[in-house]
């Protein structure tokens, strides 16, 4: 929905002055800061003066675009002059005007979020675009009426009054700059004093850190070496015990069989401790490797069900796995998750005399993670002891503890593994009522890990496919888009935020961008405006796929297509077939096609439509 605020003509010098004053008034009423008011007024004044100087007349239209915040202020200056002869050179920033017209346009481009130009021999249309702040009131037809009454009640001043106003703005800016300079000088002095103290402190901390690092390395090496050294004799003990129990060397008496069985059981318990110690040593040394790969939780549960069934002793305790078929495909380390759940179930079975142990998994409210839970009807854990069990070798005192000896390493190992996967462990328990251990694991390991985008992925791009930058913060939606583009000529490069998108754009020029406007609080509208305004990236087609139903604003900011989620595969591939730039052309910065894209304001592009859900 586009709302018109004001239309005014430029027939003389006073009209140029009035356009500047009205621009300032409108920007102020729309909630712009003092600095942005001056920017809008100056940009409009420069273009209006060009219209008067070269065409001797012109018209200025002030409009609002968008139904959601932030809305877009459009200022369209139209004249019927001879047009701009060398528009492409002007748009590239290389135009040098002897009269100053080019300087005014280039300056206006820098002051506004976007500046588009359409010029023919019948006249020129310059459209200036400015995103209003998020704190600005939502502009409605009623508010437009009030704004019109306010403008009608006030009368623009003359050139002298405008010069006085500009002088006041200049003096206020100079005073602000002076205050900031003094503040900067004061802060610089404080930082210098602080830095001297910090340097001395760092020297001391480095010395202590070096001592701790050496001690930690010695501990990790000791654990690792001892674990390896224990494995060989333990394997021999278990093998020899099996030989005796299998009667390879003759029959055993009843007491001998019982004793050998105890030996084998002790060797197996000790092997479990050694394996846990080795895993902990690897984690602390940073040598454990995460291998993310797609898998289904239902398949994981099926494998665990068969693996853990032998741990049940008698019929007093049931092991139940809830249905996990509705969960999305995960992309993380399946083996590490299986190890965590196995430890949870093993502990639950040890301390549950009767009842059930239930294993479940559900998607979190934000859809980014899966919460694996193991609930039991066992002895429970007192609040004061709940922190102790996550410490290495920490165990609570309980009569049942004497019957089921444990290592005290399983839960600390689970906690460290969960942290490695980017998740966290939680516990709810009441003595005598049972416990629920939960591990919340992100659906995709790379996003959960929080690291920078892996630049190595850009070095492995297929030269025969067109790279498509997908900017989407929902992991499951990124997986859907990657599935859509599998076995097509398009190669998706998926990122979850605008910072990683900037990293990609610094390295390559994709054939297209698929953008979600609602990116967890990031200002995607401004990013769209700046990307389509920049000379290096304005030729890249941007396909918006979002739940924000504001396609006209998206087109006004330069979107080449705008779709409302959910988006179907056919619609996405069709849009890419129509818009994506082949690889050989993605490195151009200032071609004639780029100029025509920058000059357009989104009219005539693919309208917003609803695709079939994935």
Q: Is residue 461 part of a domain?
A: no
pLDDT in tens, 44-65: 988 888 888 888 888 999 999 9
In this prediction, residue 235 has a pLDDT band, given cuts at 50, 70 and 90, of: confident
Residues 416 and 487 in one domain: no
CATH of the domain at 561: 3.40.50.2300
Cα distance between residue 254 and residue 50, in whole Å: 108
Lowest mean pLDDT among 139-153, 356-370, 389-403: 389-403
Output the pLDDT for position 519. 82
Output the pLDDT for position 610. 37
Residues 429 and 474 in one domain: no
Indicate the number of domains in the chain.
Answer: 4
Query: Which region holds residue 129: left if phi is over 0, alpha if psi is between -120 and 50, else beta?
Result: beta
Residues 261 and 401 in one domain: no
Share of the chain above pLDDT 90, in %: 20
Q: Is residue 455 part of a domain?
A: no
Residues 265 and 380 in one domain: no
In this prediction, residue 185 has a pLDDT band, given cuts at 50, 70 and 90, of: confident
**Domain boundary pick from 257, 289, 321:** 289
- 21, with CB counted inside 10 A (0-12, 13-18, 19+), is buried
Residue 252 has pLDDT above 70, yes or no: yes
Residue 467 has pLDDT above 90, yes or no: yes
Q: Is residue 185 part of a domain?
A: no
**Domain boundary pick from 289, 324, 349:** 289
Which residues, in sequence order, are bridge partners of residue 6?
Answer: 62
Residues 471 and 578 in one domain: yes
Mean pLDDT on 355-374:
91
In this prediction, residue 78 has a pLDDT band, given cuts at 50, 70 and 90, of: very high
Which residues, in sequence order, are bridge partners of residue 513?
Answer: 469, 542
Cα distance between residue 80 and residue 196, in whole Å: 65
Q: At what angle do helices 569-579 and 475-485 cross, to 10 degrees?
A: 70
Question: Which of these, 32, 72, 2, 42, lies nearest to 528 by C-alpha position?
Answer: 72
| Choice between 354 and 282, residue whose per-residue pLDDT is larger | 354
Residues 258 and 308 in one domain: no
Residues 482 and 398 in one domain: no
**Domain boundary pick from 157, 179, 213:** 157
Residues 305 and 284 in one domain: no
Residues 247 and 380 in one domain: no
In this prediction, residue 490 has a pLDDT band, given cuts at 50, 70 and 90, of: very high
- As separate numbers, helices (DSSP H) first and strands (DSSP E) second, the chain gives 19, 19
Q: Is residue 174 part of a domain?
A: no
Output the pLDDT for position 592. 36
Q: Is residue 142 part of a domain?
A: yes
Lowest mean pLDDT among 173-177, 568-572, 593-597: 593-597
Cα distance between residue 536 and residue 514, in whole Å: 18
**Contacts for 604 with CB less than 8 Å, ≥ 6 apart:** none
Residue 271 has pLDDT above 70, yes or no: yes
Mean pLDDT on 81-94:
69
In this prediction, residue 603 has a pLDDT band, given cuts at 50, 70 and 90, of: very low
Output the pLDDT for position 12. 86
Using CA atoms, how far residue 537 sits from 243, 472, 508, 510, 530, in Å, is: 72, 19, 11, 9, 9
Residue 545 has pLDDT above 90, yes or no: yes
CATH of the domain at 255: 1.10.287.130
Pairing of strands 542-546, 466-471: unpaired
CA 67 to chain CA mean position, Å: 25
Cα distance between residue 222 and residue 232, in whole Å: 16
Torsion over CA: 508, 509, 512, 518 (sign): positive
Output the pLDDT for position 301. 92
Residues 305 and 420 in one domain: yes
3-class DSSP string for 308-371: HHHHCCCCCEEEEECCCCCCCCEEECHHHHHHHHHHHHHHHHHCCCCEEEEEEEEECCCCCEEE
Q: Is residue 247 part of a domain?
A: yes
CATH of the domain at 26: 3.30.565.10
Residues 241 and 382 in one domain: no
pLDDT in tens, 410-422: 788 888 888 888 8
DSSP helix/strand/coil, 6: strand
| Choice between 150 and 502, residue whose per-residue pLDDT is larger | 502
Residues 6 and 151 in one domain: yes
Q: Is residue 178 part of a domain?
A: no
Residue 383 is part of which domain span? 293-443
Q: Is residue 181 part of a domain?
A: no
């Amino acid at each position: 929905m586009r709302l018109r605020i004001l239309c005014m003509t430029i027939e003389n010098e006073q009209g140029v002055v009035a356009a500047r004053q009205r621009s300032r008034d409108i920007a102020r009423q729309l909630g712009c800061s003092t600095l942005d008011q001056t920017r809008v007024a100056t940009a409009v004044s420069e273009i209006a003066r060009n219209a008067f100087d070269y065409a001797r007349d012109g018209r200025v239209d002030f409009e609002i675009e968008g139904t959601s915040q932030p809305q877009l202020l459009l200022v369209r200056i139209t004249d019927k002059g001879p047009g701009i002869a060398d528009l492409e050179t002007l748009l590239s920033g290389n135009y040098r005007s002897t009269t100053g017209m080019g300087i005014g346009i280039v300056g206006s481009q820098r002051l506004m979020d976007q500046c588009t130009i359409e010029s023919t021999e019948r006249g020129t249309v310059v459209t200036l675009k400015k995103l209003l702040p998020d704190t600005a009131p939502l502009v409605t037809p009623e508010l437009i009426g009030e704004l019109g009454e306010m403008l009608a009640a006030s009368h623009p001043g003359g050139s002298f009054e405008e010069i006085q106003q500009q002088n006041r703005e200049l003096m206020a800016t100079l005073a602000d700059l002076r205050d900031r300079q003094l503040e900067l000088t004061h802060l610089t002095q404080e930082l210098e004093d602080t830095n001297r103290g910090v340097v001395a402190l760092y020297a001391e901390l480095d010395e202590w850190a070096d001592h701790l690092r050496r001690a930690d390395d010695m501990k990790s090496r000791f654990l690792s070496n001892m674990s390896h050294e224990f494995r060989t004799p333990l394997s021999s003990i278990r093998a020899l015990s099996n030989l005796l129990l299998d009667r390879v060397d003759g029959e055993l008496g009843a007491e001998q069989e019982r004793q050998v069985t105890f030996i084998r059981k002790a060797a197996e318990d000790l092997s479990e401790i050694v394996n846990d110690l080795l895993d902990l040593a690897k984690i602390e040394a940073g040598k454990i490797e995460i291998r993310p790969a797609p898998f289904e939780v239902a398949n994981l549960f099926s494998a665990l069900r068969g693996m853990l069934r032998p741990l049940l002793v008698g019929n007093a305790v049931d092991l139940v796995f809830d249905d996990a078929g509705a969960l999305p495909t995960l992309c993380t380390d399946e083996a590490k998750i299986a190890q965590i759940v196995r430890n949870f179930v093993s502990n639950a079975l040890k301390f549950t005399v009767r009842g059930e142990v239930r294993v479940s998994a559900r998607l979190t409210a934000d859809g980014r993670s899966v919460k694996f839970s193991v609930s039991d009807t066992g002895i429970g854990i007192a609040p004061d002891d709940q922190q102790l069990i996550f410490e290495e070798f920490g165990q609570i005192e309980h009569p049942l503890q004497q019957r089921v000896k444990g290592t005290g390493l399983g839960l600390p190992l689970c906690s460290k593994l969960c942290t490695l996967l980017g998740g966290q462990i939680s516990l709810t328990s009441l003595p005598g009522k049972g416990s629920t251990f939960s591990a919340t694991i992100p659906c995709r390991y790379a996003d959960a890990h929080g690291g920078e985008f892996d630049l190595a992925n850009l070095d492995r791009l297929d030269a025969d496919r067109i790279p498509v930058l997908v900017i989407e913060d929902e992991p499951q939606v990124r997986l859907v888009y990657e599935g859509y583009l599998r076995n097509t000529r398009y190669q998706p490069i998926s990122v979850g935020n605008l910072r990683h998108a900037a990293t990609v754009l610094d390295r390559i020029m994709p054939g297209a961008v698929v953008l979600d406007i609602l990116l967890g609080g990031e200002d995607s509208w401004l990013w769209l405006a700046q990307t389509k305004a920049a000379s290096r990236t304005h030729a890249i087609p941007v396909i918006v796929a979002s739940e924000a139903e504001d396609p006209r604003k998206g087109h006004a900011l330069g979107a080449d297509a705008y779709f409302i989620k959910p988006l179907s595969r056919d619609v996405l591939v069709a849009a890419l077939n129509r818009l994506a730039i082949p690889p050989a052309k993605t490195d151009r910065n200032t071609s004639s096609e780029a100029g025509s894209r920058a000059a357009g304001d989104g009219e005539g592009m693919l309208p917003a439509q609803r695709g079939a859900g994935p």
